[in-house]
Amino acid sequence: MVTEGLVVRSYSGYYYVDCNGMLITCKVKGHMKQKRFLLYTGDRVLLETGQQNAGDGMITSVLPRRNCLLRPAVANLDLLVIAQALVQPDFSHLIMDKLLVLAEKAGIPVLIVLTKADLTEPEQAERIASVYRNLGYETHVISAKTGRGVALLKERLAGKVTAFGGPSGVGKSSALNAIQPGVLRTTGAISSKISRGRHTTRYTELVPFNGGYLADTPGFGNVLMENMMPEELAGCFPEFRQYEPVCKFSPCSHIHEPVCGVKEAVAKGIIASSRYASYLAIYEELKENKERNRK
């Protein structure tokens, strides 16, 4: 029998597929492996069931994706929550801007969550949040410890397929647990190697939540910008768009050109200096990638 299902977790060669509420353990059919087809958590797949065990299946194809991300590795999202701590670890504009660029390129709506509000002054939180609110990104300041901001965030996730992504240790799993205690069934295996029993998320798993799904994902260190050309970057900074008509050259890299609307807006303080600094750093990284690939 052929049925459709949703990949809710993948783990060492096995895919766990939700078929109308029943969890089926699957492998992928040989011809798919030959094509080196990557399957993501969040993929909709066709599978053959009922050969041997009722709980086993074989994935035969992947249905077209609406969207897909590598970091975190997940497909078909309605919403990506980009989580970062205000402190511990310190907030990084560059990491936030890189993740925003990747989400813009993938065409996935973003909601920003700034965590550990209990560890910082409200003014500091506001300073960071305002940079992103001014760009039009919905930004929530929360604390899993005190519960601040959790109820409102929970409301905003209802009925959607949402993944929480961001650097390691920023509090993604803690935020999810605050939103829905017990939501993480299998994540949070205690690692004795990493600092005294900290819970570190090992894989992406979708869990049903309020008419949609929530995904916790493993944190990462740095964010590598891959599969992107330097010339594409400005298009992933939405606030640049309205100043580009002023640029003398088209296309304009907004770096060395003499008359540039974007550079003017930065000089006037209309475009945040942290955003422009990220643009320069990412542009440089993409240029280096391009030169390396040419060799």
Block residue for tokens 């409102």 = 152
**Cα(233)–Cα(102) distance, rounded to whole angstroms?**
10
- Binding of Mg ion at residue 217 (CB under 5 A)? no
- Among residues 79, 144, 234, 236, which is the contact residue for ligand GTP, using CB under 6 A? 144
Task: Select from Zn ion, Mg ion, ligand GTP, none the partner in contact with residue 89, using the beta carbon and a kind-dependent cut-off of 5 to 8 Å.
Answer: none
Tokens found for residue 134:
């001014």
Number of residues binding to ligand GTP, judged by CB under 6 A: 20
**Whether 216 contacts 201, CB under 8 Å:** yes
Q: Which residue number, 198 or 248, has a Cβ lying nearer to Zn ion?
A: 248
Number of residues binding to Zn ion, judged by CB under 5 A: 5
Q: Give the DSSP H or E segment for 261.
A: helix 261-267
- Among residues 124, 168, 180, 210, which is the contact residue for ligand GTP, using CB under 6 A? 168
**Cα(239)–Cα(271) distance, rounded to whole angstroms?**
7
- Binding of ligand GTP at residue 214 (CB under 6 A)? no
- Among residues 254, 276, 279, 285, which is the contact residue for Zn ion, using CB under 5 A? 254
- Binding of Mg ion at residue 173 (CB under 5 A)? yes
Helix 273-294 and helix 93-106: axis angle, to 10°? 70
* Sign of the CA dihedral running 26, 27, 28, 29: negative
246-264 exposure pattern, b = at least 16 Cβ within 10 A, e = fewer? ebeeeebbbeebeebbbbe
Contact set for Mg ion, span 181-210 (CB under 5 A) = 201
- Among residues 262, 265, 266, 282, which is the contact residue for Zn ion, using CB under 5 A? 262
Tokens found for residue 184:
């993480």
- Among residues 9, 116, 140, 254, which is the contact residue for ligand GTP, using CB under 6 A? 116
- Binding of Zn ion at residue 247 (CB under 5 A)? yes
Q: Which residues bind Mg ion (CB under 5 A)?
A: 172-173, 201
Q: Which residues bind Zn ion (CB under 5 A)?
A: 247, 252, 254, 260, 262
Q: Which residues bind ligand GTP (CB under 6 A)?
A: 115-116, 118-119, 143-145, 168-174, 198-201, 218-219
